[in-house]
Structure 1
Amino acid sequence: MAKAKTKTKPSKKSRRKDAPATLASVLQNIAAHSTSQQSAVDIDTLVARANSLLHEETDPHQALATITKALAKNPTSLPALELAGEINVELEDTETAIRCFTAATELDADGSVSGVEKFLWLAELCEEGGEVAIRWYERAVEYLRKRVSEVTGEDKATAEQKLCSALCGMAELYMTDLCMQPDAESRCEAYITESLLIAPTSPEPLSTLASFRISQSKPADARAALTRSLDAWKHLRPTDERIPPYPARMSFTRLLIECELYEEAMDVLEGLQAEDDQSVDLWYLGGWCLFLIGAKLKELAANGNGGSTDVQVEVEDWRDTWAAAREWLWNCEKLYKAFEWQDAGIAEHASELLANINGEIGEAKPDDEEKEGEDVEEGEWEDDDDDEDEEMGDS
């Protein structure tokens, strides 16, 4: 189920070569089919099976094959179209996902039949961004405001959560794509205020507020919002539904670092590391954060602890912190190469940080390279094509 700004946005690729061609042909011929020609029971079974394959068995390829069968029976099935869109998001086939969600909006223009997830997905995925994305969000918000006023209990809570997320998504757009609009600041303020009135302790609107205050050069207000957001979920287990998803917490650490809340950022990053340590961003942000902590300790040591008698900073404190930062950056480098990462900004900044660290505390090698007898060269973030000589056996 889509939620604005909480899912990792996939890269915008053309249709994958391994996607069943039948799905494309089904989408092209939606208007030529009638729901009355097929068994609704069979379609419901296939949709349920595809949903299980995607969310419970984590097999999006089989889920795609199954949902394609459902759409072959009835290309105008809203549940099948929306699930097909979600599956293709998982497979990073953005083009087909957009076609599925767009087809669903043509069949349910106001969301009264199947809800607003398709509008939220299109707001996130649309290549045009800006005004086009805002229009998708506005369709979702119009429905959700009405929904919140009409339902109670869990249904109301769910609608409020979606409404908050959509409003935050709109505010983010006016901080990025539409930041040059004359009313951008007032719109951001209005959307964030509405979201906080709905859910004053929810992490997402608080984080969006912090981002907005940073853009307004109000760091104290940003830190206050970040602290309130962190207090709302830092004590929760990773499996708790109230905790922000992994990508959202990763983005949250960037805000913490920007507001110089370094210790809090490392606490969040260490929690993320325990959940999943195969993220380039994770190791990059951790290395950067530890570097900044070490830089502050170094400055305190150089200034005699700033005249403070409460804090005793030894030279080894900042050196040890920078050594730890280097370990995180080495892991970043390793995953960057392994995943063939394309973010040149991370590579350049991490190389710069490593150069600064090595210049101050001396060069060293990662453990794996020491074992292999390979030299570490600063700034190399591309795989080398050097051929390895075969070892000669004893004669």
Structure 2
Amino acid sequence: MAKTKTKTKPSKKSRRKDAPATLASVLQNIAAHSNSQSATVDIDALVARANSLLHEESDPHQALTTITKALAKNPTSLPALELAGEINVELEDTDTAIRCFTAATELDADGSISGVEKFLWLAELCEEGGEVAIRWYERAAEFLRKQVAETTGEEKSTAEQKLCSALCGMAELYMTDLCMQPDAEARCEAYITESLLIAPTSPESLSTLASLRISQSKPADARAALTRSLEAWKHLPATDDRIPPYPARMSFTRLLIECELYEEAMEVLEGLQDEDDQSVDLWYLGGWCLLLIGSNLKDGAGASDGANGQEVEDWRDTWAAAREWLWNCEKLYKAFEWQDVGIAEHASELLAKINSEIGEAKPDDEEKEDEGDEDEEWEDEDEDEEMEG
């Protein structure tokens, strides 16, 4: 089966070497405390405070300090270990996050005590990927299948959602890391079919189905799956938790562009822009998408631009808008010292194409700098004339 990278896998973020010594020592001593009884030590308040600092106050550094205090009191606290893992993911210290989640799995091997999030995190973060990640996903799926069968109501719904996510994660691995396995395509089909049987309108399951159909060179089926996925959430209010998270929607736009659903892609990108406009990928994908929309207008206008030239003006305006998006992409790329060279190179190529067709232009900030330089020149000339006088 052809290899595809249509869905962005969680990145292996940079490893920080400066993890707090107190947390490192706590993790090293977990085994020594594995039989300790800490009933007299109430760490619930510390865990709750760390959770609030991370998720409500967006202060992962203070959250780390607080959770380290909790683990110093009780190194075998599953809630503290798992929250420490999440905090270190946010701080881009993947090594420490993995150690926290791994320690949690040793204390709760089947997920029956604190759930399966630790297995899902390890599947996403593990450097080995492939079969190792699949094993973590399978541990989560095994527990979640039982939970779906044995529960009702909200608990059942939550378990179904997590199970669908795990199944889609496994399918993605067989489209990427394990795509050369002889049974890769069959496994993808099985995982996606199971997830859609559980939740037929799951945006994640439908997007993963679209990714598989693209790899199978079935664009019509892929477009149908993407359309169903978009319809499942695009009319929901912004606060609805059924709307896929920001990174998932960003990946979704790549699939839409690949399937030539450009207008739909721009609709999603504009919604993402309203939420957070500090993403390099956002401006890159928007600029690329607008250029493709303009190219379609340009091709369609070629045979009918004799009436009033309106069609030609439309594509030029669209390309000018694409240029603005790509300028923003370049500015953020430099500001954040982004590492994806492919985006930088492609954005430059697209800008060169636009400039060659509709003429050169400068970003607003560069034009203002030029105007400032001109003002300084005029001031200098005035001063020279006064001196001569």
- TM-score higher than 0.5 here? yes
Cα distance in 1, alignment partners of residues 276 and 239 from structure 2: 13
8 Å CA contact 1:174–1:185 kept in 2: the answer is yes
Per the TM alignment, residue 12 of structure 1 is displaced from its structure 2 partner at its CA by: 3.4
State the shift of 1:209 in Å: 0.4
User: Residue type matched to 2:323 in 1?
Assistant: R
- The Cα shift of 1:15 comes to 3.2
Alignment of 1:77-88 (within 5 A): 77-88=77-88
Question: In the aligned structure 2, how far is the partner of 1:286 from the partner of 1:15?
Answer: 32
| Contact 2:86–2:97 (CA under 8 A) maintained in structure 1 | yes
Other-structure match for 1:353? 350
Matches of 1:313 and 1:253, distance apart in 2: 29
For each residue in 1:67-120, what CA deviation from the matched residue of structure 2 results, as whole angstroms up to 9, or x when unmatched?
101111111111111010010001010000000000011111111111100000
Residue in 2 that maps onto 1:250: 250
Match of 1:367 in 2: 364
Distance 1:45 1:35 in 2: 22
Alpha-carbon distance in 1 for matches of 2:67, 2:9? 22
Deviation, structure 1 residue 13: 2.8
For 1:24, the equivalent position in structure 2 comes to 24
Aligned residue for 1:13? Answer: 14
CA 1:6–1:253: 2 relative to 1, 3 Å: closer
Sort the Cα spacing of 1:300 and 1:229 in 2 relative to 1 into closer, same or farther, 3 A.
Answer: same
Q: Is the Cα contact below 8 Å between 1:144 and 1:163 reproduced in 2?
A: yes
Check the 8 A contact 2:288/2:350 in 1, yes or no.
yes
Give yes or no for contact 1:35–1:74 (8 Å, CA) kept in 2: no
Distance in structure 1 (CA, Å) of the matches to 2:180 and 2:313? 47
Which of 1 and 2 has greater Rg? 2
Instruction: Say whether the 8 Å CA contact 1:35–1:77 is kept in structure 2.
Output: no
1:66-85 correspondence to structure 2 within 5 Å: 66-85=66-85
Q: SS in structure 1 opposite 2:14?
A: coil
Query: Which amino acid counterpart does residue 209 of structure 1 have in structure 2?
Result: L
SS of the aligned residue for 2:158 comes to: helix
Following TM superposition, by how much is the alpha carbon of 1:202 offset from its aligned partner in structure 2, in angstroms?
A: 1.1
Deviation at 1:39, TM superposition (A): 4.6
Distance in 2, matches of 1:29 and 1:293, equals 58
Check conservation: 1:108, 1:114, Cα contact below 8 A.
yes
Aligned to 1:213: 213
TM score, norm. by length of structure 2: 0.91
For residues 158-197 of structure 1, what are the structure 2 equivalents within 5 Å? 158-197=158-197
> 1: distance between equivalents of 2:103 and 2:55?
23
Q: What is the Cα deviation at residue 10 of structure 1?
A: 4.6
1:207 alignment partner AA? S
Who is 1:339 aligned against?
336
- Structure 2 equivalent of residue 315 of structure 1: 312
Q: Which amino acid aligns with 1:30?
A: I
Q: CA deviation at 1:213?
A: 0.4
Does the CA contact (< 8 Å) of 1:104 and 1:118 recur in 2? yes
Where does the alignment leave 5 or more consecutive residues of structure 2 unmatched? 1-5, 372-378
Deviations 1:8-41 (A, max 9, x none): 8354333342x32110111011111256453555
CA–CA separation in structure 2 for the residues paired with 1:169 and 1:218: 21
Question: What is the RMSD of the two structures over their aligned residues, measured on CA atoms?
Answer: 2.2
Q: Distance in 1 between matches of 2:7 and 2:78?
A: 23
Point out where structure 1 has 5 or more consecutive residues left out of the alignment: 375-390
* Secondary structure of the structure 1 residue equivalent to 2:48: helix
In 1, the alpha carbon distance for the partners of 2:77 and 2:8 equals 25
Deviations 1:167-192 (A, max 9, x none): 00000000000000000000000000
2:128 aligns with 128
Shift in CA distance, 82/178, structure 1 to aligned 2, threshold 3 Å: same
Query: Could you tell me the percent identity over the aligned residues?
Result: 85
- The equivalent of 1:283 in structure 2 is 283
Cα pair 2:7 2:252 within 8 Å, conserved: no
Q: Kindly indicate whether residue 55 of structure 2 is the aligned counterpart of residue 55 of structure 1.
A: yes
**Aligned pair 1:89/2:89, yes or no?**
yes
Residue-by-residue CA offset, 1:35-82 (whole Å, 9 max, x unaligned): 645355521111111111111111111110011011111111111110
Which residue is 2:98 aligned to? 98
For each residue in 1:225-268, what CA deviation from the matched residue of structure 2 results, as whole angstroms up to 9, or x when unmatched? 00000001111122111101111000000000000000000000
Deviation at 1:6, TM superposition (A): 10
- Contact 1:130–1:178, Cα closer than 8 Å, also in 2: yes
Match of 2:375 in 1: none
**Superposition deviation, residue 313 in structure 1:** 6.0
CA distance, structure 1, for counterparts of residue 11 and residue 69 of structure 2: 25
Tell me the residue number matched to 1:155. Answer: 155
**Equivalent residues of 2:8, 2:251 under 8 A apart:** no
**CA deviation vs aligned residue, 1:189-243 (integer Å, no higher than 9, x gap):** 0000000000001101000000110000000000000000000111112211110
Residues of 1 paired with 2:275 and 2:9: CA distance?
A: 16
Structure 1 residues 213 and 147, CA gap change in structure 2 (3 angstroms): same
Contact 1:6 1:245 in 2 (8 A): no
1:304 is displaced (CA, Å) by 3.1
Number of corresponding residues:
369
Q: Judge conservation of contact 1:67–1:84 (CA < 8 Å) in 2.
A: yes
Contact 1:329–1:350 (Cα < 8 Å) also in 2: yes
**Separation in 2, partners of 1:7, 1:49:** 32
Q: Paired residue for 2:326? A: 329
Distance 1:8 1:180, change over 3 A: closer
Say if 2:122 and 2:136, in contact at 8 Å, map to a contact too: yes
Q: Which amino acid aligns with 1:208?
A: T
In 2: Cα distance, 1:156 partner to 1:371 partner? 58
C-alpha contact (below 8 Å) 1:294/1:321 kept by paired residues:
yes
Q: Contact conserved, 2:294 with 2:316, CA < 8 A, in 1?
A: yes
